[in-house]
A and B are shown apart, each in its own frame.
Chain A
Amino acid sequence: MIKLTGGLVALCIAAWLIVSIAPYPEIKSLPLYTVSTIFRILIVLVISVAWGVSFGILAATNKVASVILTPFIDLLQSIPILGYFPIVIGFLFAIGPLGIELAVMVLLFTSMAWAIFFGVLGAIRGIPANVAESSRSFGLTGWRYIRHVILPAITPTVVSGANLAWCDGWFFVIAAEWIQYQGSVYTPPSGGLGFLLAKAAYDYKDMSLAVILLAYITFIVVYFNALTWHRLMERASTGTYKPVLRMDLSGVGKLGIAKATNWLHFGRLHWPKSFSIVSQRLRKYTHVERTTAIFLVFLSTVFVLYIVLGHFPTIATISEGLSSPPSEELVKLPILIVFTMGRLFLAYGISLVAAIGMGVLAAEHKRFATVFFPLYDIGQGVPILALFPVISLGLTGFLGNQGLALELTCIIMLVLDMIWYMFLNVVSAVKNIPSEINEVGQLLGFRGLKRITHIVVPSILPAIVTGSILSWGTGWNTIIFAEYLPSTGSAKPVSIPGIGSLLDKAGYEYGNTVVLVLMLGIISVLVLLMEAFVWRRLLRKFEKYHVEV
């Protein structure tokens, strides 16, 4: 109760301070905007939970639904969400002001819903065979099975998935409330914190205000995490559930926030499940399922095109799209792909090394854990996309070169985005190494670096691969955003060469749907190729390292 009121009071004081200090007219509406963004995310959260639970149950219990839905949703999820922005927007903007609100909510939905769907799917598939069988033998079928078995089994996952979705929502709200489309900026009529932040950074170029707003947003996210989700999580799984992954993180730090996050992310089911889902999906889909899914994605793309262009794409519209700007850049396509992939690989390499180092230290030494977990807390809590204008503006001032600054910002953003999945995965994997393996290592005399290379790293390789897949997924998303700094009041947009920025130009500046869809297609193909030729193989290869507990 003290925490609750204390937090609210702190929030009010902060809002009042910001309003009274900042000289811009929009800032006066800060309290209203705070409420509107919170409500916006909550509404989408409710919709996401409803969708995720119902479709998750459908996909897990119905064979036909499973064959069609799962790979389809999986593919949608692995294709960068931000890439869809312009397409969705073009359609919804036609409706008017309400359309803009709707567009913002659709965009938020596409970033929030997946975690819940896959969490539900994993939790239902994770119901032990003996529980499912005994329930069947005692006549629990149909609706009764859902009520007595499925719903209680998925509750902890739904709560932690909703928490994740909540954080994702805040992550994307910054992009969703400041939409550039065909050269002009669209913002929701009811305003929002994301809009305010973008305004401060892009229009007023007021660094300090941007940082203050960012801190304000981070506080809201972390505050809700510590209070609401912690309690919900506790209630959802009181004493009834044997945790799949239990970690002893007591004494990690006196920060209440850190403890709440530990509770949320490590104490319960969500993480290991979501990771196992990733590996499952790479292993288990048949060619037929994949082909069906790809076909469905193709169909829906054509459908969207049909709506956006008003008629089926004909050769004429396609060639028209391919001859208008920014299609002249298509000539450089191979080099653009190389640039973008290069950035991703560089950021991935940095994240990988840093995450393994930090993860192993945090998992094995309490002293490091007390440093890294609060760091992780804040790293997860900050909506990284919001950092983009801030870092980029700061670096431009520092380096004096916009292009170079953007290049550096892009890499920093990617690292900040990719590192946490790896870190979390490494920590949980190291903690999960069976004590027998460690004891064998001790008996054989492995110490120091030898122990790391012979015992620790091989044991966590499968986890590193699944962490990498998640990292790359979010990395693709971020790079679409991070190669392109939208135009601000007077200045022209800045971009660094890459397929992400080409997509943005096509969507935001020229509204060239043909080029946009082409870029989306190329990115999707790259994502799928990476899956097929890199991740799937690595996962198969390291599967035998998996230690059965």
Chain B
Amino acid sequence: MSVVEVENVTKTFATDHGKILVLENVSFSVGNDEFICLVGPSGCGKSTLLRIIAGLERADSGRVLFRGQPIEKPTPKITMVFQLFGLLPWKTALENIEVPLEVLGVPKPNRMHIAEEYLRMVGLEGFETTYPHDLSGGMKQRVGIARALALKPDVLLMDEPFSSLDELTAKTLRELVLNIWQNPVLPTNTFIMVSHNVEEAVFMADRVIVMSRRPGRVIGEVHIDLPRPRSSYLRDKEYFRYVDDVVALLEKGETATKDRSPISLTADQSEVSKR
């Protein structure tokens, strides 16, 4: 059964120069235990889509369902990790994790205990009283991840979580996120990540959904059937074939936008298998 269903979502933004169509008829569904990656050129509305799923934005038409219920505002069942971390600069690492728990009404001793536990899980033991200002980018993102997980959500959304980090840090954090996803103890097992890094997407996801240039539409998707852990496949021909498949779809999206002819999903899949 699918956990998140995106149904015909369309979104326009009003600007000084008129309206801009950012998402057009986007539909897909995400199953339990799935790790989904949304890739597309910048400005294709993938971040907007993630915000609609998070309940931060409303779709103009269409809807997003979580376990059959439409999402209308942020819920603790779906939490988000932000590209620029979104930590409160005036709260310590521990307090940053505590605040959302406080909103849920968790009593003070409990929430401190939970926050400590999750901080330990992301490897930040000893940094409880450190302010974000004194943490490195990677450490800030660890706090961001701990904060999102501490609510024990069903779905974790990640908006380009590694793109403001250096490559080495990003690599470590990718492993951390994959370990969390595969950890059977944690209730959070449905991950939706936005990325513009194709190799990252192929490395992490079960399924890569490719979107076109604005207005964003789903061009196709690529199932990544590489066994996990995948770090040993990073130099493998098979890995690069998946990367090429995704890139080919992205390029297809470029030309498709020009003549605006819709591409059927099956056509894309035949394209993928032909290679």
Contact = CB atoms under 8 A, between A and B. Distances in A.
A138 to B, nearest CB: 4
Contacts of A153: 90
Interface stretch (B27-35, B76-84, B171-179): B76-84
A254 interface: no
Contacts of A135: 86, 88
B106 to A, nearest CB: 12
Interface in B108-152: 131, 133-134, 144, 147, 151
Contacts of B234: none
Nearest to B76: A139
A144 B54 CA distance: 20
Given A138-B74, A139-B103, A140-B99, A130 B85 contact: yes
A133 B87 CA distance: 10
A241 B74 contact: no
Contacts of B104: 139
B54 A137 contact: yes
B62 interface: no
A152 B88 contact: yes
B133 A137 contact: no
A134 interface: yes
A490 interface: no
B149 to A, nearest CB: 12
B89 A240 contact: yes
Consensus secondary structure, chain A interface:
helix
Contacts of B144: 134
Interface residues of B, number: 28
Interface in A90-133: 128, 130-131, 133
B103 A239 contact: no
Contacts of B100: 138-140
B82 A134 contact: yes
A544 interface: no
B56 interface: yes
Nearest to A156: B90
B88 A148 contact: yes
Contacts of B80: 134, 137
Contacts of A138: 74, 79, 99-100, 103, 147, 151
Contact of B103 (A130, A134, A140): A140
A136 B89 contact: no
Contacts of A155: 90
Contacts of A242: 89, 133
Given A130-B85, A153-B90, A242-B89, A136 B56 contact: yes
A350 interface: no
B82 A133 contact: yes
A144 B103 contact: yes
Contacts, number: 69
A297 interface: no
Contacts of A239: 131, 133-134
A543 to B, nearest CB: 16
B53 to A, nearest CB: 11
A239 B92 CA distance: 10
Given A240-B133, A242-B133, A134 B99 contact: no
A131 B54 contact: no
B94 to A, nearest CB: 14
A241 B82 contact: no
Interface string B161-188: 0000000000000000000000000000
A149 interface: yes
Contact of B86 (A134, A139, A148, A241): A134
Interface in A147-174: 148-149, 152-153, 155
A239 B74 CA distance: 31
Given A138-B103, A140-B99, A140-B103, A131 B56 contact: no
Interface string A205-244: 0000000000000000000000000000000000111100
A240 B134 CA distance: 8
Contacts of A144: 103
Most buried by A among B54, B80, B90, B103: B90
B87 A137 contact: no
A143 to B, nearest CB: 11
A289 B263 CA distance: 47
Given A239-B133, A239-B134, A137 B79 contact: yes
B103 A240 contact: no
Contact of B90 (A130, A136, A137, A241): A241
Interface string B41-59: 0000000000100111000
Contacts of A139: 74, 76, 100, 103-104
Contacts of B91: 148, 152, 240
Given A130-B83, A138-B103, A144-B103, A241 B89 contact: yes
Given A130-B82, A137-B86, A138-B79, 20 more contacts: A128-B84, A130-B86, A131-B86, A131-B88, A133-B51, A134-B82, A137-B79, A138-B100, A139-B76, A148-B91, A148-B99, A149-B88, A152-B88, A155-B90, A239-B133, A239-B134, A240-B91, A240-B131, A240-B133, A241-B90
20 contacts: A130-B82, A131-B87, A134-B82, A135-B88, A136-B56, A136-B74, A137-B54, A137-B55, A138-B100, A138-B147, A148-B88, A152-B88, A152-B90, A155-B90, A239-B131, A239-B133, A240-B133, A241-B89, A241-B90, A242-B133
